[in-house]
Amino acid sequence: MIGIEYTILATDGAARRGRLETAHGSVETPAFMPVGTTGTVKAMLPESVAETGADIILGNTYHLMLRPGAERVAALGGLHTFMNWPGPILTDSGGFQVMSLSQLRKLDVDGVTFQSHIDGSRHRLTPESSIDIQRLLDADITMAFDECTQWPATEAQAAESMRLSMGWAERSKQAFNEKPGYGLFGINQGSVFSDLRIESAERLAAIGFDGYAIGGLAVGEGQAQMFTVLNGVVSRLPAEQPRYLMGVGKPADIVGAVARGIDMFDCVMPTRSGRTGQAFTRRATVNLRNARHAGDSRPLDENCCCPACSSYSRAYLNHLVKSGEILGSMLLTWHNLTHYQDLMAGLREAISSNSLDVFIARFVVDQEIGDIEPLS
């Protein structure tokens, strides 16, 4: 087998239950990838991330090329060895971070020159160098280099950005060295303009990739508009390869996107929220800074088996968060990642049993009930 292998095991409407085989193991889909931007999922040990149920994590080209450097990671055995994560890794190409983090960015048809947000040093990324960096990192799934279209954008701006990314996608494919267990994903762009999204999908399919991502969403357009884009473009992507919605998102975003045929997700939200005292539960988001938790002996979520819920009270979590203790960030991050992985497992089971509509209806009801106040 050259590349990665994706098998669809069940469907329910547009939703798919699948399995992705890579050089470092299999990924059950729909899947959520915890974000390990700089070679670590913040506030978590790799073993703890695996215990939440995660099969695959995400690393980032931009951050790792700046620090510690892709060549150093390669010399130390690759990113799997370097960060002690034996499972599959997907690496983002760096295009989004160049747009959002770098200073004095200069874009041209060949690539982008920018100054590091860390120390101001000058760097250049091209499709070829991005692919080479991801090869040095030993990513199981490499992402084509693209420009993440600014938001908001006019149709003319979105068209110019998308067509630049499609040219870079062709060059990324040419630069990628195919080998067993390793794959390259193309990235669909076009902002919220359906004709541009369709044009991008057709060009990517003509090039041919191991998977297809949808980029440039969850950047401010709102859930309704994001779902409208997905309704128009998902069916235009090759059905036999996995589909990845980049940077998404909240649990409700994920549930809606799975129902529309998306297989893979990543987002910093569960880890970032864990560090700011917010917890995702089956009954919406809970702010542990709220004074109402200070005397509450109940678990955060009685249906969750993570350490935060099985061993500690809301009162203690509130104390940790209000005191700024590191343990609070650790426990809430562990909980949030467990919640996301439990959600994905529930979606997989619902698709397999052809009961996705029932699962979604129950999810909506639970979210509408909200977090229940303790009895006085």
So what's the pLDDT on residue 373?
82
The secondary element (H helix, E strand) that includes residue 119 is: none
Residue 21: strand, helix, or coil: strand
Quick: pLDDT tens for 16-67: 999 999 999 999 999 999 999 999 999 999 999 999 999 999 999 999 999 9
- Residue carrying structure tokens 């993570």: 306
Task: Kindly report the pTM of this predicted structure.
Answer: 0.97
β-bridge pairing 243-245 and 183-188: unpaired
- Burial of 263: CB neighbours in 10 Å, binned 0-12, 13-18, 19+: buried
Known catalytic residue: 92? yes
Q: ω before 34 within 30° of 0 (cis)?
A: no
b or e along 222-243 (b: 16 or more beta carbons within 10 Å of the residue's beta carbon)? Answer: ebeebbebbebbbebbeeebbb
User: How many Cα atoms occupy the beta-carbon half-sphere of 198 within 13 Å?
Assistant: 7
The catalytic position among 138, 146, 210, 266 is 266
Q: With pLDDT > 70 as the criterion, what percentage of the chain qualifies?
A: 99
Statement: residue 375 has pLDDT above 80: no
Q: How confident is the model at residue 2 (pLDDT cuts 50, 70, 90)?
A: confident
Nearest in space to 213 (alpha carbons), one of 163, 268, 165: 165
pLDDT of residue 258: 99
Kindly list the structural domains of the chain, giving each domain's residue range(s) and its CATH number in brackets, ordered by start: 5-267 (3.20.20.105), 274-369 (no CATH)
Query: Is the pLDDT reported for residue 376 higher than 60?
Result: no
Active-site position among 12, 55, 92, 296:
92
Residues 343 and 255: beta-carbon distance below 8 Å: yes
pLDDT at 330 over 90: yes
Contact between 139 and 90 (Cβ < 8 Å) = yes
Residue type at position 134: Q
Kindly tell me if the per-residue pLDDT of 237 is higher than 90: yes
- Tell me if 78 sits within 8 A of 112, measured CB to CB: no
Characterize the bridge pairing of strands 211-214 and 243-245: parallel
